[in-house]
Structure 1
Amino acid sequence: MLPAMHRRQFVQHAAALAALPAFGGLAMTGPWPETATQAARVVNGERLNGWLAQFDAIGRTASGINRVAYSAADLAGRAFTKELFAQSGLTMRLDTAGNMLARLPGTDSALKPILIGSHVDSVTDGGNYDGPVGSFGAIEVARSLLEQKVRLRHPLEVVVWQNEEGGTIGSKIAVGLLTPADLDKVARSGKTVREGIGIIGGDVSRLAESVRKKDDLAGYLELHIEQGGQLEKNHRQIGVVDGIVGLRWFEITITGFANHAGATPMDQRQDAMLAAATFTVAVNEAIRGEAGRQVATVGRLNVLPNTTNVIPGQVTLTVDLRDLSQATIDRFTARFEQLGRDIGKATSTTFAFTQMVNSTPALSDTRLTQVVESSAGALGLTHQRMPSGAGHDAQEVAHIAPMAMIFVPSVGGISHSPREFSRAADITNGANVLLNAVIAADKVLP
């Protein structure tokens, strides 16, 4: 719910909105104000949460939400989103990458646009809030600006990125970071990225037309669920993201010697599983042994020959390493490689490291984080600074433009799960902060 001090203002806005004609044929009477006012404004939270409730049925299966990129459910989700653009009086266009975009003109045609948005695809067996909260929140913000006749100096663009969960594909294309090899990667739907772009209406032969250059945008704001439990634990309503952690993934192949489990003495074994287990514990101890917010996870193991009565001859495992400091990521990379050498020597095995993913930390823009904080304060919402431990499209956009993110609580800190849930009041709070942050950013950005 909105704080008591703003309920009267909400009622006033609700009455004003009720007086407007249906938005599909919104009649703009009289000139728009040249600039936004300083008073805190609110979105139509009931409408926004209604959209999310309807969207929950798309891709819903017995095991969770399955709107994986380029699947039939993803196409249905995109069609639903396209209809929301239309209902909101926004003319949607599709870029050659398959990203969905709409634009509100500003009063100063010389200014670069402020971009807001997120994604609507999901992980396998995921939830309904990761992505759609920010995408639908951005559409609702644009619609609220139109309905309340607030016109910004900057143009405002709303974006729904394609295939965020498969590696921030749409936003990578937009900033020129997608490689030809990336196009041949297979999404969770079984389609390659190359095939998927065509399926959703893009044109892989013209991807260069969707690339934005540095300074093409004034700034980027993204609303998202926290995907963790810090806001709930600290009884805070809004997270002001001060940066998105860098991410480095390794695939490590440990080679020993497969031999008979009963006939091989313990002191003559080259046990790849023993080396993998020792390494897993060592990674955990190394990360926990140093003060900081760094995290590392051994998440997948493949064992050969994976038989009860054979000593494992080879294990392939993955390590996911994250921190907001690039120096910390580099330092632990070297530490893990040294651990591999030491454990290999002790177990008569060899460790081979292959780097799979390497994304650098993205720090939020100071002006935009201050704008988010001040907007939360103006709405009477409790807030805190925090890093994002998960990757987002904002991390890619940060290569070319100032960015900031707004988090709302995830109940129980659960995400990428059928149990993922954010309360309607928290989602409304986040959209209200986004609305006011956009208005404030319009004043502070060049």
Structure 2
Amino acid sequence: MDIRSTFIKLDEKFSRFGGLEPRGITRLLYTDEWKAAVNALIEEFDNNGLEVVQDSIGNVSGKLVGVNSDETILTGSHIDTVVEGGHLDGQYGILAGLTAILYLKEKYGQPKKNIEVLALAEEEGSRFPIAFWGSKNFFNIQDNEIVKGLTDSEGVNFVDAMRQSGFDFRTDDSVRNDIKAWIEIHIEQGQVLEKEQKQIGVVTGIVGFKRYYINLKGEANHAGTTPMGYRKDVVVSFSEIVQRLNQKAKEIGDPLVITFGKVNLVPNVTNVVPGEIEFSVDTRHIDEKELNHFSKIVEDTIQEVATKNGLEATITLHLDEQPTLMNEEIIKTIEDSAKEVTSGNYKFMVSGAGHDTQIFSQFVPSGMLFVSSIGGLSHNVEEDTDIEDLVKGIEVLAKALYKLAY
């Protein structure tokens, strides 16, 4: 079996589900495009002799049954995308896993342990404001009450969308105990590997992050008749918050990052002093203590600026994910595999993006590996990776799965 041609064929097939012109994918949870991709995966698994497993919320996997069917080595990623995303984020991990399994099956036959590729229903939080729905359901740690009130940008309720797609909440409390290891392969979504001319990144940890939604309320008033000293202008306060926190983050230094990514202004017209603003704050660090320390600075700074300028501030912590370290034995397995496949053309690195592996690592020995991203682009229709790097990634994954399962 030729890994290159097999992967290209699969990638071209699945990039059509939610595919955009001339390139890119929008495939959001519980949409027709998402459901078509899931159904196509089931067909692909079945046609290749893999045992299909699907749960009630839409996670689906294909299993190559081993001699010891009580132990499973699991690989995979998420099937959903962001709006106007690329063809590799999430999808590569699933199709690379499938390609690796088919290669191992043809070359070595039945493994000692099961090898299973898992397509998780959702990770991105792009349609509804919730992330890791797939992986949290996999381990039965989801909060069903939270999603019951969620709606998408068109007002569609989460539960309605789920049920219209033929899925529903879990009704059992069981958690699988057969999984002995989890490996996720992913594009880097950054520029490090490309700039350092490395083919493989052996991930040692994933940053933790805290994501806030902030609401500042001042006073909307006439732009021409309200003197500067009398204004309660939320944009001025927002600007001060951005400047102060960005400067503080630079002083603390890498790997701390802070991003102000979403801003909604009311009334958002040219001749009115803006009276209300909502914005997001996303801050990340690999060290839990440092992340918590800076988050306190974020909260204190926002409140201090608001009070000084006579504004009312509401600070809501929306997501709180702690830093995650990979399992040392899995790291070693991936490193040894990368060393053999690439003749040492790899590096250890930390992931600055969140991944399903953050959830898996809480329950099973877990690891990740990266391939480079051209220009560091991701969450972008131009997202891409050289085919040679994609193939090398699959070869490293296959080698690691072989070491764990055969």
Output the TM-score relative to the length of structure 2.
0.92
Return the offset for 1:205: 4.9
Q: Among 50, 53, 60, which residue is 1:100 paired with?
A: 60
Asked if residue 194 in structure 1 is aligned to residue 153 in structure 2, the reply is: no
Asked if residue 143 in structure 1 is aligned to residue 107 in structure 2, the reply is: no
| Residue aligning to 1:336 | 298
Amino acid paired to 1:73:
E
Contact 2:151 2:157 in 1 (8 A): yes
Change (3 A) 1:389 1:129: same
Greater displacement, 415-424 / 175-184 = 175-184
CA distance in 1, matches of 2:80, 2:134: 11
| Residue aligning to 2:193 | 231
CA distance in 1, matches of 2:47, 2:155: 33
Q: Among 342, 346, 359, which residue is 1:396 paired with?
A: 359
Q: Which structure has the bigger radius of gyration? A: 1
Return the offset for 1:80: 2.3
Return the offset for 1:271: 1.3
| Residue aligning to 1:125 | 84
Asked if residue 170 in structure 1 is aligned to residue 129 in structure 2, the reply is: no
Change (3 A) 1:51 1:318: same
| Residue aligning to 1:204 | 169
Tell me the alpha carbon deviations over residues 33-65 of structure 1, each in whole angstroms, 9 at most, x when there is no partner: xxxxxxxxxx62211122112322221223731
Greater displacement, 61-70 / 383-392 = 61-70
CA distance in 1, matches of 2:232, 2:6: 62
In structure 2, list runs of 5 or more residues that go unmatched.
Answer: 126-130
CA distance in 2, matches of 1:92, 1:216: 16
| Residue aligning to 2:40 | 80
Amino acid paired to 2:231:
R
| Residue aligning to 2:128 | none
Q: In percent, how many aligned pairs have the same letter?
A: 30
| Residue aligning to 1:180 | 144
Output the TM-score relative to the length of structure 1.
0.84
Return the offset for 1:367: 0.7
| Residue aligning to 1:358 | 320
Amino acid paired to 1:102:
G
Return the offset for 1:127: 0.9
The aligned runs of 1:247-262 (5 Å cut-off) are 247-262=209-224
CA distance in 2, matches of 1:128, 1:415: 9
Amino acid paired to 1:119:
H
| Residue aligning to 1:441 | 404
Contact 1:89 1:143 in 2 (8 A): no
Tell me the alpha carbon deviations over residues 151-208 of structure 1, each in whole angstroms, 9 at most, x when there is no partner: 43322222111022221211111122210234323357865443344344433252x3
**3-state SS, counterpart of residue 247 of structure 2:** helix
CA distance in 1, matches of 2:311, 2:56: 48
Aligned pair count? 398
Asked if residue 378 in structure 1 is aligned to residue 340 in structure 2, the reply is: yes
CA distance in 2, matches of 1:212, 1:324: 28
Asked if residue 270 in structure 1 is aligned to residue 232 in structure 2, the reply is: yes
**3-state SS, counterpart of residue 103 of structure 2:** helix
CA distance in 2, matches of 1:173, 1:436: 29
CA distance in 1, matches of 2:207, 2:370: 15
CA distance in 2, matches of 1:345, 1:119: 43
Contact 1:228 1:414 in 2 (8 A): yes
Contact 1:259 1:311 in 2 (8 A): yes
**3-state SS, counterpart of residue 65 of structure 1:** coil
**3-state SS, counterpart of residue 128 of structure 1:** coil
CA distance in 2, matches of 1:193, 1:341: 33
In structure 1, list runs of 5 or more residues that go unmatched.
Answer: 1-16, 18-42
**3-state SS, counterpart of residue 77 of structure 1:** helix
| Residue aligning to 2:387 | 424
Q: Among 261, 267, 287, which residue is 1:299 paired with?
A: 261
The aligned runs of 1:30-45 (5 Å cut-off) are 44-45=3-4
Q: Considering only aligned residues, what root-mean-square deviation do their CA atoms show, in Å?
A: 2.0
Tell me the alpha carbon deviations over residues 100-153 of structure 1, each in whole angstroms, 9 at most, x when there is no partner: 1222233335x5311111122211111111111110111112212211134433
| Residue aligning to 1:71 | 31
| Residue aligning to 1:35 | none
CA distance in 1, matches of 2:205, 2:405: 21
Amino acid paired to 2:351:
S
Return the offset for 1:393: 1.3
Amino acid paired to 1:108:
N
Amino acid paired to 2:334:
V
Contact 1:258 1:310 in 2 (8 A): yes
| Residue aligning to 1:51 | 10
Contact 2:50 2:65 in 1 (8 A): no
Change (3 A) 1:424 1:171: same
Greater displacement, 225-234 / 307-316 = 307-316
Contact 1:95 1:101 in 2 (8 A): no
| Residue aligning to 1:312 | 274
Contact 2:51 2:65 in 1 (8 A): no
Return the offset for 1:260: 2.0
**3-state SS, counterpart of residue 92 of structure 1:** strand
CA distance in 2, matches of 1:384, 1:89: 36
Change (3 A) 1:440 1:196: farther
